[in-house]
């Protein structure tokens, strides 16, 4: 990847202009910590630009047609940069979060993690007034348009725009749902973790009367003991998908609260590979 090939709004930051050779190393474990080296760029989104972290499967060439892409959205106040390093035993299950990235890379996906507002120390616009009902004016909508343009123009290398997937936890899960209703036909499948429909927020969750006919197949992951996002809001979403005839599945862990499930890396990888 050279400066000439990068889209104007995407600038690799790690080495000025050009790839960081460390980012091509595989994920590695040291003690209780799993780290996945990665590139960092910047995409215009709200006038200031947003950091975007990304990595292609290390040591491999793109398949014919380019890499399939997973856009992984952070949770509230959990900066996307942190998705790439996880430690066993922490409150949010970040080791399972980072292990999900590793599983996707090992399966041949390019992983992209854009930052939310304020360097990632915020949440996504999808369920915030007025953007929840007026997405076209949301800064995160502009971010997504520029991210799509960067992917299509080769800013992240050779990618297959016909194999685009989205996943996220908590606020990132609501943002994942937004991909289905705001960008029809863009995504092959979704994985919504500890969240529900795009305009819901925690206990406040009014479902629309119906969902788009082309809503992508969706995997839901949830802790049955989640005190932040009631599991019933997720199941209300599933009922609408069932009524729509849209493929969906759920993975529930009875012992887990509002945190990444230990089963997430394998479940998300396998669901995306099946689509």
- pLDDT of 6 higher than 50: no
Q: How much is the pLDDT for 193?
A: 97
Percent helix, strand and coil across the chain, each to the nearest 5: 30, 25, 45
Mean pLDDT across 241-268: 95
Burial of 235 (0-12, 13-18, 19+ CB in 10 A): middle
Q: Quick check: pTM over 0.75?
A: yes
Q: How large a percentage of the chain has pLDDT more than 90?
A: 76
In CATH, the number for domain 3-273 is 3.40.50.1820
**Which of 50, 49, 48, 58 minimizes the C-alpha distance to 20?**
58
Mean pLDDT across 108-126: 92
Whole-number Cα distances in Å, 163 to 87, 216, 217 = 30, 12, 13
Local confidence band at 9 (pLDDT 50, 70, 90 cut-offs):
very low
With residue 265 as reference, give the H or E element that holds it: helix 264-273
Which residue is listed with tokens 């996906």?
A: 109
Q: How much is the pLDDT for 46?
A: 62
Local confidence band at 93 (pLDDT 50, 70, 90 cut-offs):
confident
Q: Residue 193 pairs with which residues in a beta bridge?
A: 169, 221
Q: How large a percentage of the chain has pLDDT more than 70?
A: 91
Using alpha carbons only, what angle is made at residue 144 by residues 77 and 188, rounded to the nearest 5 degrees? 100
Local confidence band at 79 (pLDDT 50, 70, 90 cut-offs):
confident
Determine contact, residues 173/198, Cβ cutoff 8 Å. no
Which residue is listed with tokens 């996880």?
A: 86
With residue 163 as reference, give the H or E element that holds it: strand 159-169
Which residue is listed with tokens 């990132």?
A: 172
CA 266 to chain centre: 16
């Amino acid at each position: 990847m050279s400066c000439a090939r990068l889209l104007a709004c995407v600038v690799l930051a790690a080495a000025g202009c050009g790839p960081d050779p460390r980012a091509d190393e595989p994920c590695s474990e040291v003690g209780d910590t799993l780290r996945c080296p990665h590139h960092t760029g910047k995409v215009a989104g709200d006038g200031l630009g947003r950091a975007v972290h990304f990595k292609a499967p290390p040591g491999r060439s793109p398949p014919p047609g380019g890499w399939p892409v997973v856009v992984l959205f952070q949770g509230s106040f959990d900066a996307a940069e942190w998705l790439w390093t996880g430690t066993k035993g922490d409150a949010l299950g970040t080791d399972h979060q980072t292990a999900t990235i590793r599983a996707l890379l090992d399966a041949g996906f390019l992983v992209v993690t854009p930052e939310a507002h304020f360097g990632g120390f915020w949440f996504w616009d999808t369920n915030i007034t007025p953007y929840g009902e007026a997405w076209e004016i949301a800064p995160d909508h502009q971010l997504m348009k520029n991210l799509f343009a960067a992917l299509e123009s080769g800013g992240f290398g050779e990618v297959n725009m016909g194999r685009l997937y989205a996943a996220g936890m908590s606020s990132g899960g609501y943002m994942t749902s937004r991909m289905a209703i705001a960008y029809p036909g863009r995504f092959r499948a979704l994985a919504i973790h500890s969240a529900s429909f795009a305009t819901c927020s925690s206990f406040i969750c009014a479902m629309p009367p119906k969902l788009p006919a082309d809503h992508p197949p969706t995997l839901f992951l949830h802790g049955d003991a989640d005190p932040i996002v009631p599991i019933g809001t997720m199941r209300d979403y599933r009922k609408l998908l069932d009524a729509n005839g849209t493929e969906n599945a759920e993975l529930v862990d009875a012992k887990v609260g509002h945190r990444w499930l230990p089963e997430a890396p394998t479940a998300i990888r396998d669901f995306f590979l099946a689509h």
